[in-house]
Amino acid sequence: MYYLSPTLKSTQQISDDLHEIGVDDWFLHIVSKDESGLSKQKLHSSNYIETLDVIRDGLIGAACGFAAGIAGALLTMITQPFGPDMHWFGYVAIVFVWSCFGAWVGGLVGIASENKKLAKFHDEIEAGKYLVLIYAKKHQEEKIQQMMASKHNEAELAAVDANFLNPFAELKMTT
């Protein structure tokens, strides 16, 4: 669940209330342009894996590298630059090297890219709001939503991520 909070004080209170109902820091991250404020308040800030597109672009790069590796292995098989008796392991190595190269290039592209899911909230974050990412277990979702509705009506439920582990899954926007 992704909540937009208007102030640091509100975000601190949300964090405290989430801890009270059993949400650990491991499942709670905050995206903000005010990293020093989060640090001073001892709030669990988001990490590079969450804010950048390293995983998503790395997987795309690996898939492209795999395709290039297959093409390279087929080309090697047809042209036989290493002779007609090349072992099958050589073809596997070609595909593996190209896949790794693609993942590396994709990861480098991802380091320079904002996370596609969080990009939808870029303007709000730049305007000073705090995006609270809550990775809740299914049995906690209703309790969290009830607590947020009763204690923190200043924070708006902005989106729900049904599968936060999948970098290709779309967010279900609530606003």
Q: What is the pLDDT of residues 67-104, one digit of tens each?
A: 999 999 999 999 999 888 999 999 999 999 999 999 99
Cβ within 8 Å of residue 107, ≥6 positions away: 54, 57, 58, 61
Q: Identify whether residues 39 and 125 lie together within a single domain.
A: yes
d(Cα 120, Cα 140) in Å, to the nearest integer?
25
Whole-number average pLDDT of the chain: 91
Q: What's the confidence (pLDDT) of residue 175?
A: 65
Q: 99 near 66, Cβ under 8 Å?
A: yes
Q: Identify whether residues 36 and 62 lie together within a single domain.
A: no
**The total number of structural domains that make up the chain:** 2
With cut-offs at 50, 70 and 90, classify the pLDDT of residue 105: very high
Last residue of a domain, one of 72, 89, 111: 111
Q: Does 163 have pLDDT greater than 80? A: no
d(Cα 80, Cα 157) in Å, to the nearest integer?
59
Q: pLDDT (tens digit, 9 = 90+) per residue, 10-21? A: 999 999 999 999
Last residue of a domain, one of 111, 133, 151: 111
Q: Identify whether residues 132 and 153 lie together within a single domain.
A: yes
Which structural domain, as residue segments, surrounds residue 105?
A: 54-111
* CA 54, chain centre distance (Å): 8
Q: Identify whether residues 105 and 119 lie together within a single domain.
A: no
| CA distances for 137 relative to 77, 114, 140, 148, 158, angstroms | 49, 26, 5, 16, 18
**Of 136 and 96, more confident:** 96
Q: What's the confidence (pLDDT) of residue 40?
A: 87
pTM exceeds 0.85, yes or no: no
Q: Does 164 have pLDDT greater than 80? A: no
Q: Identify whether residues 47 and 123 lie together within a single domain.
A: yes
Cβ within 8 Å of residue 125, ≥6 positions away: 31, 32, 33, 118, 131
CA angle 30, 32, 36 (to 5 degrees): 100
Last residue of a domain, one of 76, 91, 111: 111
